[in-house]
Every structure is written in structure tokens, then in C-alpha cells.
Amino acid sequence: MHNKIKDSMRLTYPPLKLLNRDTSILAFNERVLSLAQNPDYPLLERLRFLCIVSSNLDEFFEVRAAPHVDAMRDDEQQSDINVQSYQSIALAAHELVAKQYQIFNAELMPALAAQGVHLVSHGERTPQQRRWVARYFETEVRPLLVPVALDPSHPFPQVANKSLNFIVSLGGHDAFGRNNNIAIVKVPRVLSRLIKLPKSLSDKQQKFVSLSSVIRAHLASLFTGREVLNFSQFRVTRHSDLAVDEEDVKNLRTALRKGLVQRNFGDAVRLEVSYGCDEPLARFLLQQFDLPKQSLYRVHGPVNLARLIQLADLAEGNHLKFKPFEPKVSQEIAPNQSFFTQLKQQDILIHQPYESFESVIDFLHEAVNDPDVLSIQQTIYRTGADARMLKLLQEAVRRGKEVMAVVELKARFDEEANINWAEALESVGAQVVYGIVGLKTHAKMLLVMRREGPHLKYYGHISTGNYNPRTARLYTDVSMLTADPQITRDMEHLFRHIASQVKLPRMQKLLVAPFNLHRQMLSKIRATELSAKQGKAAKIILKMNALTDVALVQALVRAGRAGVEIDLILRGACILPIDAPGLDGRIRVRSIIGRLLEHSRVFYFPS
């Protein structure tokens, strides 16, 4: 075997052909979709995974699709993103969506109906149910619907990203005798997408109606004196990755706030319509949104399938849902004892969500209420709706402590929440900074400075996850509380660097992107490769969200060809081709998906 590896090292290999990142993302979502078919999972949880795929696809199109659509419009043939690449991605996306609706219609909804949970269409409703729905439409829905008949003075309206809409083809003439035959009905987001029927109309079962079916059943009543010839629900997805030139703005927060307003009306990248949408109406919509035909998705069901996650939340039945998962307090944490006392003795490692994130909040709570604590510094990336940490930091300011928060405003799709946090902290006198121009502050750090006699002592929390109590119950993450002087000193230097942009000193223990993390990863891979070339047993295990860095992939392939055994545990996208010449099965890639979202990053280079 050793001679075989030596022989392979002498070979010259063709240029490494990397896997396509976008098709890899779609393949990941296909793996998630497989959980919707897992017979071992409760039915409402299977529905939840189906809806998660829809949400993931929304983000995929919002963030990744625009260059491909542009290439299709411009008939681009030269770059890596061209007509052919878009067609292959569109084909994979169409197949995934078709499979998704097949599972929804043929598997999940019949199975849920057998368990007494029904999504009742207009044709299935009893006369009593139809009367109730009609009253609901008249009182709750109709007042918010304003149909727009298209003519020169009423052009095609602005349709917001991912909003529910209807296009209607009309016969006859309007009130002025004109035959403007197309109208648009925009459905406000304030309306609930799922309505539960009263128990008195549900025969001791749980029956729901979708908002789209309620509107569809009463669409004709919006056009008195006109004949509804054809109609379809539709939904457009728009490019939504905020692009702000940080070098050219005076206030990043203000610029992002303005950008959030415009996000809902970026360039269209995908159009979803009902499967039976009239062909002329579909062509009309494609023309209005300037989209190629590959961007049209005809679906057998509600176009806003992601919103049906409400059914998983609203329906009752313990047998239809996962048993509630209760994290345990880490065994390393002594009850009723100060964190500061414990951390003088040892670090505390917390594996979330198996071990509770509440310990981190308890640590911050103790720091806020300890009169010997002088300052608290924290990075804030994705905070969620739980405001306990925000209130604790505000209380720290009121108690006279110095508080600095590094708020990452560019956390995709969480920008508004983070802007609100920043403003709330500034309003009480905390120092708020937004990181470094051109870079995203994605580290999770909490540093506490405490006076202990004549000395200042630092205590820290560092994690691969977010300071978000909700996702801390759903994502696996590694989290550490420490008083290690080298780690906390590195953290102090890093906070100072972010705030003042002074040169970052040499780190003792922390690896910080973009300064030394990438270089050290390549160095460790190279060292393992050299060990293999010397005939030593060599192994690498890497666990991460995704692997899309070209330099790291090339380094891993070189190491594999040199004889290193490599295990990659990747939840999402991977561009490394494990069947590249010379690897001979030495690189293995596994994707772990399940009830919990794998979010921890662990890199293991055994010596």
C-alpha cells in the first residue's frame, strides 16, 4: 500500500475539476427533503422539513440565482456562470420542487388526514363550512384586497418579494366601457396564511383552510359585472442580498436601513404560479418580470409552501410531533456556585443543545450584577426575538459598567433585528461598533473584565454558535467558558482591534479570520501531508457547515493523494470531488442532517 501511495505521488494529475457549489446546495436540500419521507419521524415534523426546504430554496434564489438569470438573459457563454450552468441548476431545482409537491400531495396530506388533520379545499367544504369561510372572507379578507385592473394609467403594480398575489383574466368591459382584461390582486402579509375552522364545523377533527383557497373561492366577487375567465396565484422571488459600498457610505446602519426598504423590490429571479395557470398569463408574468422561461415554476399546491409551517405549529397532537427536547445543565457546572470561582479552576465546555445555553445567560447575568465587574464586551450576530441578553447589557450600562457591543449589521436577513439592537444599546449609553469595513464580524465572543484585589482578571465565553437562545435549542454548537489568560488576552486584543482598527498582535491561541485561520488550516493540512509522505500514519477529521474554499479543497486533495486519510463531516455544500484521480477512497464526505441543525465546527489533526 505504501508503495502504491509513493507511485501515485509521482503521477501528474489533470487540473482538479471542482463540483458546482450551487448544485451542491440543491443536493443538500434534497437530503433535507428526504427527512419529510422518513417514516420514523412524526408527521407534523415531516411537514416542517418539507417547509424548511421551501424556505431554503427561497434563500437560494434570493442570494445565488441573480448571476445565473443575468447570464441567461444576456446569452452568456464565456464565464463559469453561463447559459448551460443556469440550465443545469434550473433543471435540478425544478426536479426538487416537483418532488417536494409530490410528497406534499401524495404522502403528507393524506397521512395527516388519516390522523384527523385536514387542509380542506373549497371543493371539499360542506355548505356550513362554505358559509363560515364566506363570512370570514367578507369580514377579514375582502377589506384588505384592492384589485388593480391594468391599463395605461394603472401599470403593473410593484409586487413585493415572496408575497402572495393573484393574476386574473377578465371578460366583458369595465365601468368605462373598456376591455382591460388583466387584473392583479395583491394579498397583504398581515393576513394569516392558514385559518383553523371552528370545532363545531370540524367533526371532532382539526380542519384548516388556506388563505389562497379562501381568496380563490371568492375571487369573482371582487370583479362585479366582469367575468373571471382565468386566474392563478403567483409569487415572485427577488434578488435580496444587500449590496452596500461600505467605503462610500458615512453611516453603515443608515445605509442598510435604506437597503432593507429596497430589498423587497430587487430584480426578479424566480416566478411561481399554479400548475394550471393559463399559458398567456404565465407568459405575461414572465415578460413583466423580465425572466427566462426556465425561471417559471408551476406548482401543484400553494405557491407559498414555506408558510404552511404554520400547520406544524397550530395542529395539536403529541404523537404528531417530536417529544420536547430538554437540554441538561453541563455536569462541569457546579450548582449555586459563582462562575468566576469555577473558571479559576477549569474551563467549562458546553455542547449545545444537549447541554443548556442558559448557562451562558446565567454567566452574563452574574457579570452584570457583580459590583467587581468593570466592563463587558460582546459580539452580536444573530440575536433572535429573545431580548434577555439585550436587557442584561442595558442593565450593565445602568449599573455603571463599560459595555461595548460589536453588532454585525450584515447578518443576512437579520439586518433589521440587529439594527434595532444597536439602537437600543446606544440609547442607554453602550458603545456600539459595527466591525471592520469589507469584513463580516462572525465570531461569537463575550469578555468580562473583573477587579480582583490589585489585579484585573478576564473571563470569556467563545462559541461557534450565535447568541440566540432559540436557535441554541435547535443547533448543535460548541461553547466554552474560560479564564485562560492567553485566550482572554487574545479576545481583548481582538475586541480592541475591531473597535480601533489597530494592528492585531500575534495571537497566542486564537485563530482569527482573515488573519491567521486560513493560513494555519493550510499549514496543518500541509504538515499532515508531509507526515504521510514520510510513511507515517496521517489522518484529518473536519466538521463544518460547508466546504467551498478552493485553496482548502486543493490542499486536502493533495494530502489525500499523499496518503492522508481524511473524513469530512459537512452539513451543506461541498465542492471537493472525492472521485478525483489519485484519491483512491482516502477522502470520505458525510452529511449529517436530522432533527438538530449541525452547526459546530471541529477540526482535528491528530499528531
Quick one: cell of 225? 359585472
Is 206 in contact with 312 (CB distance < 8 Å)?
no
Return left, alpha or beta for 177; rule: phi > 0 is left, psi -120 to 50 is alpha, else beta: left
Strands (DSSP E) found in 120-197 = 148-149, 165-171, 182-186, 194-196
48 vs 209: CA distance, rounded Å: 18
**Catalytic residue (choose from 94, 300, 442, 497):** 442
Bridge-based pairing of strands 444-452 and 373-380 is antiparallel
Q: Is 442 a residue of the active site? A: yes
Question: Contact at 8 Å (CB) between 240 and 163?
Answer: no
All three cell numbers of 183, joined, read: 387584473
CA distance 155 to 201: 42
Distance separating alpha carbons of residues 526 and 229, to the nearest angstrom: 68
State how far the Cα of 308 lies from the Cα of 52, in Å rounded to an integer.
Answer: 10
Output b/e per residue, 363-381; b: 16+ Cβ within 10 A: bbbebbebeebebbbbbbb
State the CB neighbour count (10 A cutoff) for residue 55.
15
CA atoms of 363 and 369, how far apart (whole Å): 10
And the C-alpha cell for 7?
A: 507511485
**Closest among 307, 450, 486, 472 to 381, alpha carbons compared:** 472
- CA–CA dist 416, 1 (Å, integer): 57
CA atoms 311, 314, 318, 322: torsion sign: positive
Side-chain-facing half-sphere of 358: CA atoms under 13 Å: 9
Which DSSP symbol is given to 376?
Answer: E
- For residues 384, 388, 390, 392, the Cα torsion angle rounded to the nearest 10 degrees is -160
Residues 6+ apart with CB under 8 A from 310: 192, 193, 194
| Contact partners, residue 473, CB within 8 Å, separation at least 6 | 325, 327, 352, 353, 357
Q: Which three cell numbers stand for residue 62?
A: 434570493
3-state secondary structure 411-442: CCCCHHHHHHHHHHHHHHCCEEECCCCCCCCC
The helix-helix angle for 83-103 and 66-73 (nearest 10°) equals: 120
d(CA 122, CA 102): 20
Which residues carry out catalysis? Answer: 442
